[in-house]
Each structure stands twice: as structure tokens, then as C-alpha cells.
């Protein structure tokens, strides 16, 4: 191999070893730079006779072109490699599943409350909301519940400080105080009409909401839901209660052969009082009596506390448990599941 071929080989090898553009420029300087080896060869020609100069010059030029071609090729290769690295770093893995935003939904008990409101709404009942922190008066006294009633004990009721209208002192143990609150407003609104000898338009309302008791097991939670119902007029009787509640249950459970039983019971605020049981004729719960509500004819003392004359106005009330209705409707056997906030459970109702 002659000297020039060896030089081309040396340059190509040196370029190949350059791992970065900077290395490559250094290598280039060694061969093509001002005092590089090709330049030195050119300078060395000065002493040669003219004939030899021509031949030698052409040979050196060929070698120089070969070295420049090797340089260009290596520059391109390094640039390609760098681009390749960059592409890899910025690559998107299109096979990775996207992060989806989960679709929210209503809580099963909220679904039940909506259903209750829609059904009673279709029967002409208003829907009322009231405070969860109540006074003794609305929660007990106005509802004819005596001083020594067990519900008033610390074992059953969460008390807080206070005890005045401005500073209520307990977490309501039921939605029944809404009977008084709603009726008092309604009566006030129609007082003038009644004073002028007119008849008050009927009170027809349900009051759903949260209620609280010192209680916790598979079927009791310290916070639970109730829905109160109240219908007061001049001639509203137990038959009306039976018709309305039977209609409600059959619509709610979408079961026309559902049977209801009104079992005599006691509540301070109703007289007579009845516990309402239902029985499915088909399905997994068929044949069993299941308690769903308390009810009764509103006690005269309670009617009086509403601001009405019990000789003139009469009606019925009921209080049911939407949590229990939800459990029966969906076949859930542990109430606590509703309040644990576990999406694996909750998402099944969407």
C-alpha cells in the first residue's frame, strides 16, 4: 500500500473512532487542518521538479478528496445517530392506554331519594328540606314526646352545646321535626284566609334528609336517612294513608302484587300508630314481612303545635328509611357499605 492510500486509511479510521461531532472536528484538523498531514504533503511538493509536481499533486488531491468524502460520510452518520437517539427519547408509546376521566354517578341512596320525591311529587306532595341540627322543641317537645322518653337520653341522641332557636342542641334523631316546621310556615301563610273563615289548603309534603342516632351495626349507622310524610286537611283519614303508601310502595318496587300490613304500634306523635310492613310475592324476599315505615294519625297535641285546631284539621304522617328501601330494592345486606365510599361497591349502581 502506498503512502497516500495509507493516509486515507488512517484518516478514515480516525474519523470512525470519533464518537461525537467535536471529536470528529479534532480528527479532521489532524488531516485537513492548516498544519494537518495533507497540508504538510502539499507543502512538501514545493521542492519537486514541475513534471513530478503535476503527478504528485494529482495523487495528493485524490487522497484529499477521499479523506473529505470519509469526513462527510462520518458527519452524516453521527448526525443520523443523534437524531435516532432524540427520536427514541421523544417517542410516544401509542400502545399505552390513555388516562380516562372516570364518569361520576349518583349514590344509590340518592337514587332512592330521587325516586321517592318523583313518586310523591306525582301524588301532589311538596318536598321540604330542614336543618340537621335541631332544637329540643322541634325534635321532641312539639312532637308530644315527654321529658322522660328514652329517645331523649344521651344513649340515643347526639347532643351539642346550646339549646335555643339560635343555638340548637342536638342532631335530629328523625325527620319528624319537619312536620312542625313545615306546617307552622304553611299555617302562617294561610292565617289570614283562615281568620276570615276560609279553609286552609291541605298540607301535603315529604321531607327527606339525614338523621343521627348513637347506633352502629350492620343495619344501623350513626348517620342514616329518613323521609317524613305529612298530609293534613279537614277530612284526611287512615284510608288515605293506606292508599297513598300502598301506591308508593308498589310504584317504588315496581311490583303490583306487593302486599302491605299496618301493624298497631306506638309513637308519641301519632294516635293511632302503625308500623308498615311490606311483603313481596316473588323474588328472593318473597313471603317475608319487611318493616319499612312508622305511621299514624297525627296526635291532636301535635296538630295544636302546628297552630291548627285538632277539632277542625286531621291527617296522617309517616316516616320511612330510604337506606332500608335501597337495601331491599338492590338486595344489599350491610348498611355500612353505603357509607364506606368504596367505588367497587358504589359503581355497581350506575
Applying CB under 6 A, which residues contact ligand DAH?
174, 176, 228, 267, 270, 294-296, 317-319
**Between 12 and 270, CB nearer to ligand DAH:** 270
**Between 68 and 132, CB nearer to ligand DAH:** 132
**What residues does 217 pair with on adjacent strands?**
220
**Between 11 and 232, CB nearer to ligand DAH:** 232
**Sheet with 270-279, edge to edge strand ranges:** 126-127, 203-212, 223-233, 314-320, 290-298, 270-279, 259-267
Contact 298, 204 (CB under 8 A): no
Rounded to the nearest whole angstrom, what is the least distance from the CB of residue 299 to ligand DAH in the complex? 9
**Between 70 and 293, CB nearer to ligand DAH:** 293
Rounded to the nearest whole angstrom, what is the least distance from the CB of residue 197 to ligand DAH in the complex? 30
- CB-based contacts of 296: which residues, under 8 Å, 6+ apart? 265, 267, 269, 270, 271, 272, 273, 274, 316, 317, 318
Rounded to the nearest whole angstrom, what is the least distance from the CB of residue 143 to ligand DAH in the complex? 8
User: What phi and psi values does residue 62 have, to the nearest 5 degrees?
Assistant: -60, -45
**Between 120 and 318, CB nearer to ligand DAH:** 318
How far is Cα 176 from Cα 296, in angstroms, rounded to an integer? 12
**Between 15 and 318, CB nearer to ligand DAH:** 318
Rounded to the nearest whole angstrom, what is the least distance from the CB of residue 295 to ligand DAH in the complex? 5
Contact 6, 41 (CB under 8 A): no
Rounded to the nearest whole angstrom, what is the least distance from the CB of residue 135 to ligand DAH in the complex? 16
Rounded to the nearest whole angstrom, what is the least distance from the CB of residue 150 to ligand DAH in the complex? 12
How far is Cα 200 from Cα 303, in angstroms, rounded to an integer? 13
Residue with cell 484529499: 64
Rounded to the nearest whole angstrom, what is the least distance from the CB of residue 219 to ligand DAH in the complex? 14
Rounded to the nearest whole angstrom, what is the least distance from the CB of residue 349 to ligand DAH in the complex? 25
How far is Cα 127 from Cα 204, in angstroms, rounded to an integer? 9
Read off the C-alpha cell for 303.
Answer: 296538630
- State the Cα torsion 231-232-234-239 to the nearest 10°: 40
- CB-based contacts of 241: which residues, under 8 Å, 6+ apart? 231, 295, 297, 316, 318
**Between 138 and 318, CB nearer to ligand DAH:** 318
Closest CA to 229 of 114, 125, 131: 125
Residue with cell 306525582: 122
Identify the H or E element spanning 204: strand 203-212
**Between 8 and 293, CB nearer to ligand DAH:** 293
Amino acid at each position: 500500500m502506498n503512502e497516500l492510500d495509507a493516509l486515507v486509511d488512517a484518516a478514515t479510521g480516525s474519523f470512525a473512532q470519533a464518537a461525537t461531532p467535536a471529536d470528529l472536528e479534532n480528527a479532521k484538523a489532524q488531516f485537513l487542518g492548516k498544519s494537518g498531514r495533507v497540508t504538510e504533503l502539499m507543502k512538501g511538493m514545493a521542492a519537486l521538479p514541475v513534471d513530478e509536481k503535476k503527478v504528485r499533486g494529482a495523487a495528493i488531491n485524490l487522497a484529499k478528496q477521499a479523506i473529505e468524502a470519509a469526513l462527510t460520510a462520518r458527519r452524516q452518520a453521527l448526525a443520523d445517530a443523534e437524531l435516532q437517539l432524540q427520536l427514541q427519547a421523544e417517542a410516544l408509546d401509542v400502545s399505552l392506554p390513555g388516562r380516562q376521566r372516570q364518569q361520576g354517578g349518583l349514590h344509590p341512596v340518592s337514587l332512592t331519594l330521587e325516586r321517592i320525591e318523583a313518586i310523591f311529587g306525582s301524588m301532589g306532595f311538596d318536598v321540604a328540606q330542614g336543618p340537621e341540627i335541631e332544637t329540643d322543641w322541634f325534635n321532641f317537645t312539639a312532637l308530644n314526646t315527654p321529658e322522660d322518653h328514652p329517645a331523649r337520653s344521651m344513649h340515643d341522641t347526639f347532643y351539642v352545646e346550646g339549646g335555643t332557636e339560635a343555638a340548637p342542641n342536638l342532631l335530629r334523631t328523625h325527620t319528624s321535626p319537619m312536620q312542625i316546621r313545615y306546617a307552622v310556615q304553611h299555617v302562617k301563610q294561610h292565617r289570614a284566609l283562615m281568620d276570615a273563615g276560609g279553609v286552609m289548603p291541605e298540607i301535603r309534603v315529604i321531607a327527606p334528609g339525614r338523621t343521627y342516632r348513637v347506633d352502629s351495626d350492620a343495619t344501623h349507622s350513626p348517620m342514616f336517612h329518613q323521609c317524613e310524610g305529612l298530609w293534613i286537611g279537614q277530612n284526611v283519614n287512615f284510608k288515605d294513608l293506606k292508599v297513598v303508601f300502598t301506591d308508593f310502595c308498589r310504584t317504588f318496587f315496581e311490583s303490583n302484587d306487593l302486599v302491605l300490613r299496618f301493624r298497631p304500634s306506638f309513637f308519641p306523635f301519632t294516635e293511632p300508630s302503625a308500623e308498615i310492613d311490606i311483603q313481596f310475592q316473588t323474588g328472593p324476599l318473597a313471603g317475608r314481612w319487611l318493616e319499612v315505615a312508622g305511621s299514624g294519625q297525627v296526635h291532636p297535641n301535635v296538630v295544636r303545635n302546628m297552630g291548627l285546631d285538632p277539632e277542625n284539621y286531621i291527617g296522617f304522617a309517616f316516616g320511612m328509611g330510604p337506606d332500608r328501601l335501597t337495601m331491599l330494592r338492590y338486595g344489599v345486606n350491610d348498611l355500612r357499605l353505603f357509607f364506606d365510599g368504596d367505588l367497587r361497591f358504589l359503581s355497581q349502581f350506575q
